[in-house]
Amino acid sequence: MSEANGSHAKGHHPAFSLVRSVPIEALNLTVDEYRHDKTGARHYHLATDDDQNVFLVGLRTVPEDSTGVAHILEHTALCGSERFPVRDPFFMMIRRSLNTFMNAFTSSDWTAYPFASCNEKDYYNLLDVYLDATFFSRIDELDFRQEGHRVEFEQWDDPSTPLTFKGVVFNEMKGAMSDPTSVLWQTLSRELFPDTTYHHNSGGDPERIPDLTYEQMVAFYKRFYHPSNAVFMTYGNQPVERLQTEFEERALARFDEIDPDSAVPLQSIFAGPKQVEDIYPLDDEDTSEKTHVNIGWMLDESADLDARLEAQLLEGVLLENSASPLLRALETTDLGAAPSPVLGLEDSQRQMVFVAGLEGSEADRAEAVEKLVLDTLTEVADKGVDPDMVESVLHQLELEQREVTGDGFPYGLHLIVQALPAAIHDSDPINLLDLEPALERLRAKAADPQFIPNLVRRLLLDNPHRVRLVLKPDTELSARQLAAEKARLAAMQDTLTADDKQRIVDQAKALADRQAEEGDLSLLPTVTREDIPEDIDIPQPEQFVHQPSSQRWYNRSTNGLCYLQLAIDLPHLDRDELELMPVYTSLLTELGAGDRDYVAMAEAVTAKTGGFSSGASVRAGIDDVHRTSGFWLLSGKALVRHADAMVDLFHQHLDAARFDEIDRIRDLVSQMRFGTEQGVSGRGHVHAMMLASSGMSARAAMRHDTAGVSAVRRIKAMDDGLEQAESRYDLAERLARLHEKLKGGLRHYNVVTEQRHFAEMAQALRPHMHQGQTDQPFALGHHEARVREAWIGNLAVNYCAKAHACVPPKHPDAAALAVLGGFMRNGFLHTAIREKGGAYGGGAGFDAESGSFRFFSYRDPRLAETLDDFDRAVDWVVDNTHEDRTVEEAIFGVIASIDKPGSPAGEAKKAFMDTLHGRTPDDLREIRARVLDVTQDDLKRVAETYLKPETASVGVLAGPSREEDLKALDLRIERI
């Protein structure tokens, strides 16, 4: 069905014209495309029977430098608008909402403002605020200084103290650009695109961010934040006419169409390949084998759907799994330690990029790395690939399209973000959602044996637009950058007149006064207790079978997929076995099994399944954090038509895992080592909290040892030790012994699919059913200790945490502690840590698994001051009388997190694991009911009872330049 532009279809607002309506059977939805007649704004509505409704407005934003203007504007636009002239309505609405998602994104060439909610009133409240923030933002200069950058004296009112840079984005990007992966991508993009916006760091280079003026940011807003430059995307069951009425009345009616002149120009093609060397900061004396060598190509336009799918197919053929020729070459070569973290296809920009390379290499191996990549591609071009491999990649594309996701990121938003780049670049986003016709065209072309060889030649081998980047570590770069920043500030200070100094003091005071304002919050819409659902939907198994093994069968709408989980009771494990578990679970499904080596296994898995994963789940008792339960998990998924093959491959991993592939184990450990090291800066606050709470129980100590910075250091040492052949054999033997010990335990199966597929899944499972047994049950014992530690790593900013021992999850005080975290964040910590302190984020919360209350900061320029602010937050709660609405707002946040829907399969998996760990639906409902009953008196009482400063444990992650500061805090120093 479609209508000519200019006609009006029933069911939409007369200010819009329906362009077309396209049902997409594979996704169980219909996409309606509209055009706003007056401004040319586009609206794509994904209509489906889902009450988790999603909104996103996207704008093409094209930076012309690396000052971070688009990123800083994304932050600043949410700090107050025409109809909501209060300080920071975005964060205020987080408290007054039952949202399932609220955020804003800055990409390389677009900015987006999305949210999701299952509550209709809440959805339209948020829509009102988001529309006003996007199109009628106040863009206050004080907000620019808070969110972007400013200079202040170290003691803000004392001009004799040194100047310092502050700003949320400034510190966020300092943290981001201390990550070698971020530096690698930015440098490669800069070299591949010398003439377009992708040359610049859209997030902001910390050295360039202070160059941005307020006037430049305002001009950027006026140029790009206009409906003619906007695309609206919605998902769910809300009527289009009501949505468009809001768009029209709240924003669009006040604008006329303009030419936004925001198109990203095409980068001209190089005459020949380039070689580039650059450096990244490494705060480690040992620089051996820490160089990145990458080869990057610029490809066709992403707006061409067929070209995009051809590039995705080529990426899959070359890199899908360890049987893929290019990934296999990169995994097995001695030229580097692991395939690069920047690997494969980037297709969200106007012109796509393909990257291959290695990390853990040396600069003098660059030519050999490039030769390895080009020789591998040449071999593919000359000999072709097995047609089964092509079919496997096409199968993966189909599976990815069919799967209903939604765990952590709403499914509707996943679809919208998938389609957004096409809409941003004036292409057809519906094509990106309705892939089946294009996949059929691709399948027909791929039937030609010369299709893949020709694709390799055209896109890569014969493509002159190629850059070889060597990114080398520099142990003095961080110090030089810090010295340059201090010199810049000193030079500024030397030129300050008395009036200049007073102006800086006055600006600091004005910002502090603004941060202290609350404003008229009655201007903001809010939900109330009446809007909270009375009950929570917890999936129940359709069938529960006890023999020959425990089986739970969940009937869920999985769109033609089946999911299989096996949880096996953990036996008693000694310390060495516990520490080996993360390595074992990471390696198991990457090795061979039975008569298949790892290459053959990878081929079989990709051809018939969506992959397998292994893990361990150890949780505290619901009424005693010192009592634990533990399970080893194996999980897999597949299209239902491949259920038999998936079940067989699943049990080959379980029953016939091979640990004789010594070289493969060595390669995988090396990849783990680099992956965990690179993950520290992005998860620094999580590591700091795990460290701070590691003395609360044996389970908390185990988490720090197996998933925290302690584990990062251990995997580094293991990787170094595997240089010796005998160590490799010893590790393989230990892994094999652990597997034998684990696989015989008591079995609990979980099957998630539509009920009509139960019979075929049962038939596939029947040959593998047996009970298992556990002779010596898993236990961790009792552990309590106070922690005061700091871990030093390759970090440019800090991550601070404090933890206080409190209660298990079912304790009557647990609900008040859960509410207290949001209450402190809303009323004190957000202002103290983020707005005044300049950290990218900060907060507090009750951690049920360690039975602790934990404070944290993220990408934080401060140390002692932040730790003091954590204690001041407790005083703020206890010493003040608070408005009842602030308690309710904190309750809303906890309820929203409890009620937040996941994917159909994810919700069933969570219910399965909760049941195994002794958490019944009645327990969860009781905990939820207690949250709703929390009062201000409860918050004061639990704060006084459990959060005494003298009992706190401290965990900090920081860089080497802060070592003396950490010692001054009397923290024990460890090194990552």
Q: Model confidence at 10, in pLDDT bands (50, 70, 90)? A: low
Is 911 a residue whose pLDDT tops 50? yes
Superfamily for the 788-975 domain? Metalloenzyme, LuxS/M16 peptidase-like (3.30.830.10)
- d(C-alpha 807, C-alpha 850), whole Å: 9
User: Which helix (H) or strand (E) covers residue 876, if one does?
Assistant: helix 864-879
Nearest 10 degrees: CA dihedral of 531, 535, 539, 544? Answer: -170
- d(C-alpha 439, C-alpha 129), whole Å: 40
Segment 949-967 shows an average pLDDT of 96
Is 545 a residue whose pLDDT tops 90? no
Residue 652 near residue 644 (C-beta atoms within 8 A): no
Please give the residue that has the higher pLDDT: either 467 or 514: 467
- ω into 206 cis (within 30 of 0): no
**Domain spanning 16-264+518-523, CATH class:** alpha beta
Q: pLDDT tens-digit profile of 495-512? A: 999 999 999 999 999 999
Residue range(s) occupied by CATH 3.30.830.10 in the chain: 16-264+518-523, 286-474, 548-768, 788-975
Q: Residue 241 has what pLDDT?
A: 97
Kindly list the distances between the CA atom of residue 649 and the CA atoms of 565, 618, 871, in Å, as whole numbers in the listed order.
Answer: 13, 26, 53
Minimum mean pLDDT range among 264-268, 513-517, 746-750: 513-517
- d(C-alpha 381, C-alpha 369), whole Å: 18
Q: pLDDT tens-digit profile of 420-444? A: 999 999 889 999 999 889 999 999 9
User: Which helix (H) or strand (E) covers residue 105, if one does?
Assistant: strand 105-106
Record: fold of 548-768: Cytochrome Bc1 Complex; Chain A, domain 1 (3.30.830)
Q: pLDDT tens-digit profile of 772-810? A: 887 788 989 889 999 999 999 999 999 999 999 999 999
What angle (nearest 5°) sits at the alpha carbon of residue 721, between those of residues 715 and 726?
130
Nearest 10 degrees: CA dihedral of 619, 624, 625, 628? Answer: -40
Q: Residue 79 has what pLDDT?
A: 93
Residue 760 near residue 560 (C-beta atoms within 8 A): no
User: Which helix (H) or strand (E) covers residue 472, if one does?
Assistant: strand 466-474
Q: Model confidence at 2, in pLDDT bands (50, 70, 90)? A: very low
What residues have CB less than 8 Å from 249, skipping those under 6 apart?
Answer: none
Q: pLDDT tens-digit profile of 823-832? A: 999 999 999 9
Distance of CA 527 to the CA centre of its chain: 28
- d(C-alpha 388, C-alpha 879), whole Å: 69
What DSSP line would sit under 267-329, residue for residue?
PPPPSS-EEEEEEEE---S--TT-EEEEEEEEEEETT-HHHHHHHHHHHHHHHSSTTSHHHHH
- Assess if CATH 3.90.730.10 describes domain 286-474: no
What angle (nearest 5°) sits at the alpha carbon of residue 209, between those of residues 834 and 195?
135
Residue 824 near residue 802 (C-beta atoms within 8 A): no
Residue 454 near residue 385 (C-beta atoms within 8 A): no
Nearest CA-CA partner of 800 in 839, 831, 853: 839
Is 6 a residue whose pLDDT tops 70? no
Segment 699-712 shows an average pLDDT of 96
Is 8 a residue whose pLDDT tops 90? no
Q: Model confidence at 4, in pLDDT bands (50, 70, 90)? A: very low
Strand partners, 164: 152
Nearest CA-CA partner of 567 in 619, 630, 610: 630
What's the mean per-residue pLDDT of the chain? 95
What residues have CB less than 8 Å from 499, skipping those under 6 apart?
Answer: none
Q: pLDDT tens-digit profile of 345-361? A: 999 999 999 999 999 99
- d(C-alpha 925, C-alpha 910), whole Å: 15
Q: pLDDT tens-digit profile of 48-94? A: 999 999 999 999 999 999 999 999 999 999 999 999 999 889 999 99
